Amino acid sequence: MADWVAQINAVLWGWPMIGLLCSVHVLLTVRSGFIQRKMFLALRLSFSGGGGNPGEFSSFSALATALASTIGTGSIVGVGAAIALGGPGAVFWLWVAGFFAFATKYGEALLGVKYRIQDAQGRTLGGAMYVLSRGLGLPLAGILFAVCAVLASLGIGSAVQANAVTSLLYVNLGIPTATSGLLLMLLTAAVLLGGARYIAKACTALVPLMTVLYLLCCLYILWQNRCLIGPSIAWICREAFSPAALGGGASGGMLLALRYGLARGLFSNEAGMGSAPLVDAAAQTPNAPRQALISASAVFWDTLVVCALTGLVLVSQMLAHPQVFAPGMDGAALTSLAFSQIPPAGPIALVGGMIAFAFSSVLGWSFYGERCCLYLWGEKSLPVYRLFYLAALLAGSMGGGDLVWGTADLLNALMCLPNILSLVLLSSQISRDTAYYVYGQRLQERQGPWQPPG
């Protein structure tokens, strides 16, 4: 089964999916009037309040919750895997993917908020399933997206992240996986029992702190390697276009750097997957484009800051200690070796960052899963879902495997396809709303009255 799933993923997450996502990134960049030029406005808006507007919590809390699932273990180990498979040039294409993904993240958040509803309990619900059902009249596509998101949350959001944490604690501190898994499950249960608002509060407190601490450790390492920063950037840019990039040989180095750099960038920021709009819809905002800009700033923090600094740390360490990096080394081994070369900041950044990022991903994906359960089965499904989520967390901590990872990747691809369909078919609405609210400088203007659920 694991081999079968891996073969499907090789197709779905190979050049076809990369080409599809890149095409959508370019399309929405054009249709949004090159929205990337509003990146600094997006960063400024992300720290502003939204009180008095429809929504459950602030725009910053929505951004932090989305970042909780986005900045995961893939932002550390995944970058190492991209370099191991595609060479240092993969970091350059990771930056490129993040820059253009800004437009896609903006577009899907805009639609997610635009088609949100308010239920009887006062919750603001939205996301790709509402866009597909209400905006395009495709309820079956909405159901497909929601089902895949629920199942993906149990895999990549729960079991996979738990396995990463418990394995790391066992290897570095000797803590049994059963003990750390049980503790992780209890911590998660304490947050989940409080509902969506507690999840958002926990993410709002955890995400900024863990990100700042991890970045400080990375900057310390780069300061130790400051004489190698220039050569590292030059190596990254040179290998991005070189036919002899690491791992590629003379015939396909640039292609491998392009493939794995784009794939890691696309997978890390989740632009096009439709996950972030599930929480963006709950933000207090007067109109959809304003929250869409705030949501798009997550791409800046994840891909253009965290992943970029991680990549620069790894490449500078490869230059500083070329004798210890063997060809064919996998991403996890390359990352561990690179960070271990500069104690104490290196091991602290790796172990602490992995644990914090994985736990935040557990919380963020639980929010996604709950919102999709509400769409599919209503309020009564939430306690059942939480039990399954905690069970998957404990099971994953005891032992993971290629099947869990592969199934999660497969479900993520199946989430992408209907979401991309809505982005392409409704791109004219993205263009029209952006012209009116963003370029017309009406970001404080109310979008209009609530539409009844249905």
Per-residue pLDDT of the chain (454 residues; tens, 9 = 90+): 778 877 887 777 777 888 888 899 999 999 999 999 999 999 999 887 656 677 888 888 889 988 888 877 677 777 887 888 788 888 898 888 889 999 999 999 999 999 999 888 888 999 999 999 999 999 999 999 999 999 889 887 888 888 778 877 777 778 888 888 899 899 999 888 888 788 888 888 888 888 888 888 889 889 988 999 999 999 998 888 876 544 443 334 567 777 777 777 767 788 888 999 999 999 999 999 999 999 999 999 988 888 889 899 989 988 888 877 766 666 667 777 777 777 777 787 778 887 888 888 899 899 999 999 999 999 999 999 999 999 988 888 876 556 666 777 777 778 889 999 999 999 999 999 999 999 998 888 887 655 544 4
pTM equals 0.89
Distance between CA 3 and CA 12 in Å, rounded?
14
For 414, phi then psi, to 5°, come to: -70, -25
- Does residue 176 have a cis peptide bond before it, meaning omega lies within 30 degrees of 0? no
| pLDDT of amino acid 39 | 93
What SS3 state is found at 224?
A: helix
| pLDDT of amino acid 245 | 44
From residue 115, alpha-carbon distances to 101, 124, 190, 288 in Å are: 22, 10, 32, 9
| pLDDT of amino acid 371 | 94
From residue 41, alpha-carbon distances to 35, 44, 92, 403 in Å are: 10, 5, 25, 42
Other Cβ atoms less than 10 A from the Cβ of 354: the count is: 26
Nearest partner of 112 among 256, 298, 287, judged by Cα: 287
| pLDDT of amino acid 25 | 93
**Pair of tokens at residue 294:** 């705030």
| pLDDT of amino acid 427 | 96
Distance between CA 250 and CA 247 in Å, rounded?
10
Distance between CA 268 and CA 17 in Å, rounded?
14
> What DSSP designation does 122 have?
S
| pLDDT of amino acid 252 | 41
Nearest partner of 254 among 369, 130, 88, judged by Cα: 88
**Pair of tokens at residue 77:** 């180990």
Nearest partner of 223 among 349, 77, 325, 329, judged by Cα: 349
Quickly tell me which residue has 């700033």 as its tokens.
297
| pLDDT of amino acid 454 | 44
| pLDDT of amino acid 244 | 56
